[in-house]
Structure 1
Amino acid sequence: MIQIKSFTFGAFSENTYVLHDESGEAVIIDPGCYDKAEYEELNRYIENNGLKPVKIINTHAHIDHVLGVATLKRKYNIPFYLHKLDEPLLKAVKTYAPNYGFAQFDEPEIDGYFDEGDTVKFGTTTLKVIFVPGHAPGHVAFVHDEQHFVVGGDVLFRQSIGRTDLPGGDMKTLLNSIRTKLFTLNDNYTVYAGHMQPTTIGFEKKNNPFLK
């Protein structure tokens, strides 16, 4: 049974997730922590629950989702995975991070890449990787069919969608990703998004104004 813990960090109100199962192994998804208090909050949860982080996996590489990657890589000595098409976005962060008040941004090294159809394994758990570009060129999401959920990053939000006015964004591509990759999941799948509260596929099919 997977436990999902969410943290909301920073001025961007970005959702960082820690997933773990009965083995105690865990993955950290989209770590957006930056200041001392945020790192302490995340690390305290990991330590209090006796967890062993084994990898960092990102849905994409916009600044609010990568701020904590390098520090957590060092602390837990674990690898970091991203889709290759988002590597240029990651490389660009250091050039504009000071403009957002993140002068101490530390660019992480990518240890591996994943793509559509790959799996992410930790403990007794396997997540399925699906490719959902549009908000970012290399955007992916992580699906767990047994517990009916998807960690979807900035693709689909509660009654909203990811913005497409950033470099590499494209509205038509994003809507196609949602319709062909997310809306093909059963209505009872929970969507854990990169911002705002969780939603479900069924709710968004009925209520999302961008997908009427």
Structure 2
Amino acid sequence: MQVITIPVTPFMQNCRIICCPVTGRCAVVDPGGDVDKLLSVIKERALDVEMILLTHGHLDHVGASETLSNALGVDIVGPQREDKFWFDALPMQAQMFGFAPHAAFFPNRWLEDGDCVELGELKLEVRHCPGHTPGHVVFYEPQSATVLVGDVLFKGSVGRTDFPKGDAALLKRSIETQLFTLPEATRVMSGHGEDTSIGYEQRHNPFMSGRFG
């Protein structure tokens, strides 16, 4: 799997464009904003984008989705439907986070745990990882041993749980059952900050070892 990382918005959210190396088909994961920047990269590299994938409904991860969807003529897929209330609340989120006004929109398709998203010859396993938000999902691509985790897990940290319907105990359980069951060498691509690995976080993440939280 080929991955292009484009940090967007003042939150420096890692929008990822993932591509099948065989067919060239691509998906944009978590386009949080800066739609002109994203469209410029897509045009310059002549990328064949066929869908937008969302890990959860926070505005810094979905802010450019509808505009990008309309510009490219592609569907928005994910997250799990328990995040619908965050999409309902997009106008409020824009005010709360200091973004430009943003109307509510909804994905063309919700995802569920165990679903498989096919992108060319890539098969992305969908794993439901609630805690940061109740409908948060991650995308695991076994051939490249890569998992795109949104805001569930970071290098040396975990996602916030102080937003509405956040749950720290549930987040920890999601990480233990849905992420820490993956091979240690699995590359973890987070929504903010640098990449890490499952093995590194198993050994060093203080929030999972009990040192913090």
TM bin (shorter chain): over 0.9
Match of 1:45 among 41, 45, 67: 41
Counterpart CA distance in 1 for 2:3 and 2:104 is 26
Pairing 1:81-160 to 2, within 5 Å after superposition:
81-82=77-78, 83-160=80-157
Deviates more, 1:21-30 or 1:146-155: 21-30
SS at 2:27 equivalent: strand
Aligned length: 207
Counterpart CA distance in 1 for 2:37 and 2:107 is 25
Which amino acid in the other structure matches residue 158 of structure 2?
Answer: I
Match of 1:165 among 139, 158, 162: 162
Query: Which structure 1 residue ranges, 5 or more long, are not aligned?
Result: none
Q: Tell whether the 8 Å contact from 2:30 to 2:52 is kept in structure 1 after alignment.
A: yes
Query: Which structure 2 residue ranges, 5 or more long, are not aligned?
Result: none
Deviates more, 1:120-129 or 1:92-101: 92-101
Aligned-pair RMSD on alpha carbons? 1.2
Query: Match of 1:27?
Result: 27
Which amino acid in the other structure matches residue 24 of structure 2?
Answer: G
TM-score (norm 1): 0.94
Q: Tell whether the 8 Å contact from 1:70 to 1:107 is kept in structure 2 after alignment.
A: no
TM-score (norm 2): 0.93
Counterpart CA distance in 1 for 2:103 and 2:184 is 39
Counterpart CA distance in 2 for 1:99 and 1:17 is 25
Counterpart CA distance in 2 for 1:9 and 1:60 is 16
Counterpart CA distance in 2 for 1:96 and 1:26 is 28
Counterpart CA distance in 2 for 1:145 and 1:66 is 25
Deviations 1:84-143 (A, max 9, x none): 111111111212313433233243332111111101111121100001100000010000
Deviations 1:11-60 (A, max 9, x none): 21211110012312111111111xxxx32322222122221111111110
Which amino acid in the other structure matches residue 98 of structure 2?
Answer: G
Q: Tell whether the 8 Å contact from 2:84 to 2:106 is kept in structure 1 after alignment.
A: no
Which amino acid in the other structure matches residue 20 of structure 2?
Answer: D
Counterpart CA distance in 2 for 1:85 and 1:53 is 26
Counterpart CA distance in 2 for 1:189 and 1:167 is 30
Query: Match of 1:79?
Result: 75
Deviations 1:122-170 (A, max 9, x none): 1121100001100000010000111101000101100000000001110
Counterpart CA distance in 2 for 1:177 and 1:190 is 17
Q: Tell whether the 8 Å contact from 2:140 to 2:147 is kept in structure 1 after alignment.
A: yes
